[in-house]
């Protein structure tokens, strides 16, 4: 089974859901590979922490498989899954906030976050790698400073590429609200992000390669039954 990174038609989703309910390893692998990037970026938009975002993604997958029998095709499977992820990330953020309040801790410093977000992209030269890393950090820091509603709308729309209609359905808000949030997010970023930096958005918040594969392997191992010899 080959899946694209875009949502599948609902009727195809019902067929896929049946295979996922049966814990078909091929379907589970295809499903996670198709959704890993969007889920991670969405979780990061809420949590602003790479490790917490990865944990939220894994938890959302496990919850989705536990509830797969409830999927009726009322929305696209990827939308249903992303809603589970958003709820998981919001609850995780509430727990973290309570823990920080109880311990009297300060909010995690931006420099710590930047260190966690540092990724290993292959470069032709050390200079090129350094330039890309500096641009990526500037992008991530600027987006991180947006209010949450703007940040989530910007990441889903401008980084992940969802349509306004898809975002309205996913976030369960009016189309006009989606458009307003994206417009205000772009205005706030305009001073910090020049044309070249905006063109680099598709490469920010990397969750591919080894990280993506590791997440897929963990989910397949967690939800698939071993095949009979």
Both tokens of residue 199? 């063109």
Length of the chain: 229
Both tokens of residue 87? 């709820």
Say which DSSP state 14 is in. H
Q: Kindly list the averaged pLDDT for each block of 10 residues, start to end, along the chain of length 229.
A: 47 89 92 94 92 94 93 88 95 83 43 45 55 74 89 90 92 93 88 62 72 90 73
Distance CA 36, CA 56 (A): 11
Domain 120-205 sits in CATH at 1.10.10.10
**Which is nearest to 62 in space by CA: 44, 85, 43, 41?**
85
pLDDT score at 121: 42
Instruction: Specify the residue for token string 């600027």.
Output: 142
Kindly tell me the burial class for residue 127, based on how many C-beta atoms sit within 10 Å of its own C-beta (0-12, 13-18, 19 or more). Answer: exposed
**Verdict on whether the full-model pTM lies above 0.85:** no
Domain 1-107+206-229 sits in CATH at 1.10.1740.10
Three-class SS of residue 25?
helix
Domain boundaries, the chain: 1-107+206-229, 120-205
**Which is nearest to 47 in space by CA: 128, 130, 137, 117?**
117
Three-class SS of residue 143?
helix
DSSP of 58-108:
HHHHHHHHHTGGG--SSS-HHHHHHHHHHHHHHHHHHHHHHHHHHHTPPPP
pLDDT score at 201: 62
pLDDT score at 199: 60
The Cβ of residue 186 has, within 10 Å, a number of other Cβ atoms equal to 16
Tell me if 1-107+206-229 shares its fold with 120-205.
no
CA dihedral for 28, 34, 40, 45, sign (positive or negative): negative
């Amino acid at each position: 089974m080959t899946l694209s990174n875009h949502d599948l038609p609902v009727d195809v989703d019902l067929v896929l859901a049946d295979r996922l309910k049966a814990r078909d390893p091929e379907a589970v692998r295809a499903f996670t590979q198709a959704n890993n990037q969007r889920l991670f970026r969405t979780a990061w938009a809420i949590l602003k922490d790479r490790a917490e975002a990865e944990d939220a993604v894994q938890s959302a997958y496990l919850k989705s498989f536990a509830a797969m029998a409830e999927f009726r095709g009322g929305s696209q499977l990827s939308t249903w899954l992303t809603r589970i992820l958003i709820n998981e990330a919001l609850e995780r953020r509430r727990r973290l906030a309570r823990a920080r309040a109880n311990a009297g801790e300060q909010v995690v410093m931006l420099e710590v976050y930047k260190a966690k977000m540092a990724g290993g992209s292959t470069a032709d030269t050390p200079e090129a790698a350094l330039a890309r890393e500096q641009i990526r950090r500037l992008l991530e820091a600027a987006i991180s400073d947006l209010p949450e509603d703007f940040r989530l709308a910007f990441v889903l729309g401008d980084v992940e590429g969802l349509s306004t209609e898809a975002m309205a359905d996913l976030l369960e808000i009016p189309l006009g609200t989606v458009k307003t949030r994206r417009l205000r997010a772009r205005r706030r970023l305009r001073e910090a992000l020049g044309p070249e930096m905006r063109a680099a958005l598709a490469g920010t918040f990397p969750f591919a390669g080894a990280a993506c594969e590791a997440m897929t392997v963990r989910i397949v191992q967690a939800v698939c039954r071993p095949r009979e010899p």
